[in-house]
Amino acid sequence: MIKPHGSDTLNPLLVTDEQQRQQLLLEAEGLPSVVLNSAAAANAVMLGAGYFNPLTGYMNLADSLEVAANLQTRDGLFWPVPVMNLVEDISAISGAERIALRDPNTEGNPVMAIMDVDAIEAVTDAQIDTMAEQIFATLDPEHPGVATFTGLGRHLVSGNIQVLSLSYFQADFPDTFRTAVEIRNEIAERGWQKVVAFQTRNPMHRAHEELCRMAMERLDADGVVVHMLLGKLKKGDIPASVRDDCIRKMVELYFPANSVMVTGYGFDMLYAGPREAVLHAVFRQNMGCTHLIVGRDHAGVGDYYGAFDAQTIFIEQVPAGALEIEIFNADHTAFSKKLGRVVMMNEAEDHTKDDFILLSGTKVRQMLGDGIAPPPEFSRPEVAQILMDYYQLETA
């Protein structure tokens, strides 16, 4: 199986020995503590679950600046996005060497992790802006990732952590949330060698379904891991539970048995386009996938990134040998009325836009809200029904 990023074996930071975990929880009650923001909590989940291997905790300011500028830590570890714990108010932890980190997304703010504090550093507005522009390629406050990042706080708390909880994800998504360790184990159990990862924050329509099928066939892969984001999205995006139902129905009805794993991970969407695509590659390698599908405007939002920026970054900025996972580059896919099937648009000769069934996201949402199913060439009827039920409840 493909090696994890940066080490020979996967080293998740979640404490799995229950006796040790209880001892640490007891210790945590006597430690100074801070309630994390959602972004830092998501980082803790990813560290705990092994997705951010080989990191052992939150980056300090020097490493964060280096990663934002040059996609590597000061000691040369390739990494595309700073993994930070930015805090607004440090009064409760100032001077502490060991602290408890509390979950902002669960009632009562239970302890998520214990941290050995290496440093608490002030971060200037200029440093935040510099990193934001390097990560997101814009400082536009309307960009949801920029708006979140620049509002997280101006104190950076760094150091190694022991993760005691993966927040609400295991309880809310027991059939879908999986750690990188669990996905690696299931890939091994299924006997898969060549494995394609498909990233999604949306329900899967026919184009997505066929893209997974194309990648599997062209790569002669054993299977696809559909890996959906279960954390926070921007306003208007479809909730994870609805997406989960849609994807499971599609896989159940339209894919052969033992060809698709439906899984999810606990992270907040960054909307960082190319940089986030590279982060997706890092943690898909950690979970055992050999290939990642990268399509048009992967992890993008609005018009901030070029259609294929998330593909060219792997050629122009990722050093040779930095990652073992390979990228399956994809163009926009759509149903061809001429050919009677879903194709990559750049591979369809003698086609104009009118030869494809193309619907904007706005148009699809309007149809679903009105109880009108998109054409079956665009969306499987069973998936459309789940979405119509959701939108009609939302607009009732």
Minimal CA–CA distance to 259: which of 207, 202, 215, 229? 215
362 — pLDDT class (breaks 50, 70, 90):
confident
pLDDT value for 238: 85
pLDDT value for 365: 81
Over residues 113-126, the mean pLDDT reads: 98
**One-letter identity of residue 199:** Q
Domain over 175-336 is classified CATH 3.40.50.620: yes
pLDDT value for 366: 85
pLDDT value for 195: 98
pLDDT value for 368: 85
Res 177 pLDDT > 80? yes
Angle at 292 between CA 286 and CA 294, to 5 degrees: 135
202 — pLDDT class (breaks 50, 70, 90):
confident
From 45-59, 72-86, 98-112, 294-308, the region with the lowest mean pLDDT: 294-308
Could you give the CA distance from residue 364 to residue 334 in angstroms, rounded to a whole number?
A: 14
pLDDT value for 231: 87
| Residues annotated as catalytic (active site), given as ranges | 201-202
* Strand 155-163 versus strand 86-87 pairing type: antiparallel
Q: Is 76 left (phi over 0), alpha (psi -120 to 50) or beta?
A: left
Enumerate residues 6+ apart whose C-beta is below 8 A from 388.
Answer: 368, 371, 372, 373
What is the chain's mean pLDDT, rounded? 95
By the 10 Å C-beta count (0-12 exposed, 13-18 middle, 19+ buried), 316 is classed as exposed
Res 361 pLDDT > 80? no
CATH class entry, domain 18-170:
alpha beta
pLDDT tens figures, 54-66: 999 999 999 999 9
Over residues 83-92, the mean pLDDT reads: 97
| Domain residue ranges of the chain, discontinuous segments joined by + | 18-170, 175-336
pLDDT value for 200: 92
**One-letter identity of residue 78:** F
Query: Contact at 8 Å (CB) between 60 and 127?
Result: no
Over residues 286-297, the mean pLDDT reads: 96
Res 226 pLDDT > 90? yes
pTM of the model: 0.95
pLDDT value for 396: 63
Query: Contact at 8 Å (CB) between 223 and 215?
Result: no
